[in-house]
Amino acid sequence: MAKYRKLGRTSDQRKALIRNQVTALLYNGKIVTTEAKAKEIRKVAEGLIAMAVKERDNFEEVTVTAKVPRKDQNGKRVKEVVDGKKRTVYDEVEKKIKKDLPSRLHARRQMNKVLYSVTSVPAENAGKKKNTKKIDVAAKVFDEIAPKYADRNGGYTRIVKIGQRKGDGALEVLLELV
């Protein structure tokens, strides 16, 4: 018996489909798909969540000094003239950042192998590049999803059968995070 479902696709198409669906599941919290796809997606998603739960507290807080451009009330950078050239004025600011320890860094890199990057577009700017943000799904898994499942030993997803799809009669399911 096979160790995985082929889903009627070549290996590169299947891998891309699973990566896309897992990213959507972790970003949105639930997706609607067919039963066969959901069972394959569940394997990958639960593995990523288990890895994040294991490594959730494996970091240290570090204070760093960063140069940040000074901005005026309109949000534009403040410039000053030095030797006949306009230069941006920078302020030094202390920031606290999370520094991953080696095992958490490895887990983050393993997640980034599977997860795609997600671009968030505000509703008022639909179809425009302005004010879009890249969202780090791996950071979301570590910061939001893993603490939620800290006391749980597996079973992070749930499959709820919806019914048959109108077009081809395939059984559709709702795959969601518990």
Domains of the chain: residue spans and CATH? 11-57+102-177 (3.90.1030.10), 59-100 (no CATH)
Q: Judge contact between 108 and 137, C-beta under 8 A.
A: no
| Cβ-based neighbours of 101, under 8 Å, separated by 6 or more | 58, 59, 60
As a whole number of angstroms, the distance between CA 56 and CA 171 comes to: 36
As a whole number of angstroms, the distance between CA 135 and CA 119 comes to: 6
Residue 7 backbone class (left: φ over 0; alpha: ψ -120 to 50; beta: rest): left
Residue 1 is predicted with a pLDDT of 57
- Name the DSSP letter for residue 141: I
Q: Judge contact between 48 and 71, C-beta under 8 A.
A: no
The three-class DSSP label of residue 170 is coil
Tens of pLDDT, residue by residue over 149-175, are: 999 999 999 999 999 999 999 999 999
Q: Which two tokens stand for residue 113?
A: 């192998």
Please give the full DSSP string across 73-103, using - where no structure is assigned: TTSPBPEEEETTEEEE-EEEEEEEEEEE-HH
pTM for the predicted model, two decimal places: 0.84
**39: Cα within 13 Å, side-chain hemisphere:** 10
Residue 142 is predicted with a pLDDT of 95
Residue 82 is predicted with a pLDDT of 85
As a whole number of angstroms, the distance between CA 143 and CA 49 comes to: 11
Residue 14 is predicted with a pLDDT of 97
- Mean pLDDT, consecutive 10-residue stretches, the chain (178 aa), reads 87 97 97 97 97 94 93 89 89 93 96 94 75 91 95 95 94 96
